[in-house]
Homo-oligomer: A and B are copies of this chain.
Amino acid sequence: MYTKKLGRQTMKFLNPPSLISTGTAVGPYEGEVSPFRDDFDQIFDDLLAGQESFEKAERHLMLTACYQALRKIQTPPENVEFLFAGDLMNQLISSGFTALELGIPYLGIYGACSSAAEGLLLAAMTVDGGFAKLVMAATSSHNSTAERQFRYPTEYGVQRKPYSQWTVTGAGAAVVANEGSGPKLTYATVGKVVDQGSTDPLHMGAAMAPAAASTIIQHLKDTGREPSDYDLILTGDLGQYGYELAVKWADESGGVDLSQVCQDCGVLIYDQAERVNSGGSGCGCSAVVTYSRIYQELQQGKLGRVLLVGTGALHSPTSVQQKENLPCIAHAVALESEAVL
């Protein structure tokens, strides 16, 4: 029975669930500058996505991503057994209202920007554990909702720092099933919360980098794999500064060379567009990258093995005001193309 466990943090899925469908929806800026713009399922041409508030727009993005994922497998929401969803909004209102609309039994999750990976690994556990045949995981973020909740209303036009990241307006959904065609979910490594003394909530990449490195090192140790066993180790949203720190940290703290195989969703999503500074962030960032181009390349066999490493900073504005450091976490999920299995 416990052959499903490798060490303390890593699970091996003995009947690897399939990622049978994904859906993505993004905002206008992502539709304009992202190199993945042709891979997204839906691009809204205004930040309100036809809704009357940014918060309602964000949940409309999440709902759209879910419907896109279901459309591709011609499955109504009534067939989905559980929905794991999370977002950055206080009390996860994007997820809760999306679950209301879909009518799928719902379990709310929160791992900040690691929520996409957390949802995917919980969906995989649910299916591999025999508790369901069809489970969905979804997440979202919106630049205008996150900025005003965590930082300043965008109307203020606050000057951003070189290491600031740009919250992605986007949502991604994944459908995980016990059978069917698609990349397999083979391993998952649950992260520990890490605090390496970062205090600047505008410099999240630096705070999250040690968490990313720690989870990757643990995953490789538990599975006996080398970085080169993966075609891509894809960190969530460290941005350029955080990405460089994570590669350095993995080398210095674990002797693991990630330089050849690691890329970061926060770096990739905007392709160094000037406005975004260090790159993208937000729950939607790793979701829309992973569930668009990366998923397609796994399906096509262009990518064989990908390790998605979702990273999240678990502070709140209140904890920062109370002079707390930024606690961070990273969860890893291995996706393997059917072509290599």
Chain A interface (Cβ < 8 Å from any Cβ of B): 1-5, 8-9, 11, 15, 53, 55-56, 81-82, 86, 89-93, 96-97, 99-100, 103-112, 118, 122, 125-126, 128-133, 149, 178, 190-195, 314-319, 322, 324, 327, 329, 331
Complex: how many Å from CA A93 to CA B314? 7
**Is the pair B130, A2 in contact by a Cβ cutoff of 8 Å?**
yes
Is the Cβ of A110 less than 8 Å from the Cβ of B92?
yes
A-B contact pairs, 13 of them (CB 8 A): A3-B130, A11-B131, A86-B110, A89-B316, A90-B316, A92-B110, A96-B314, A96-B327, A97-B314, A100-B193, A104-B192, A107-B111, A108-B118
Q: Which residue of B lies closest to A326 (CB)?
A: B96
* Complex contact A92–B314 (CB within 8 A): yes
Q: What chain B residues lie within 8 Å of A129 (beta carbons)?
A: 4, 125-126, 128-131
Closest chain B residue to A105 by CB distance?
A: B190
Assuming the contacts A131-B5, A133-B2, asked whether A106 and B318 have C-beta atoms less than 8 A apart, the reply is no
Select which of B109, B317, B319, B322 is within 8 A of A110 by beta carbon.
B109
Given A130-B1, A131-B129, A327-B100, answer yes or no on A91-B107 (Cβ-Cβ < 8 Å).
no
Q: Once the chains are docked, how many angstroms separate the CA of A123 from the CA of B93?
A: 24
B-side contacts of A133, CB under 8 Å: 2
Contacting A107 at CB < 8 Å: which of B100, B103, B118? B118
The reply to whether A190 and B107 form a contact with Cβ atoms under 8 Å apart is: yes
Q: Known pairs A9-B81, A91-B314. 8 more at Cβ < 8 A?
A: A9-B105, A91-B319, A93-B318, A93-B319, A96-B327, A96-B329, A109-B109, A128-B129
Most B-side CB within 10 Å, residue of A15, A317, A322: A322
Residue of B nearest to A329 (CB): B106
User: Among B89, B97, B109, which residue has its beta carbon within 8 angstroms of that of A327?
Assistant: B97
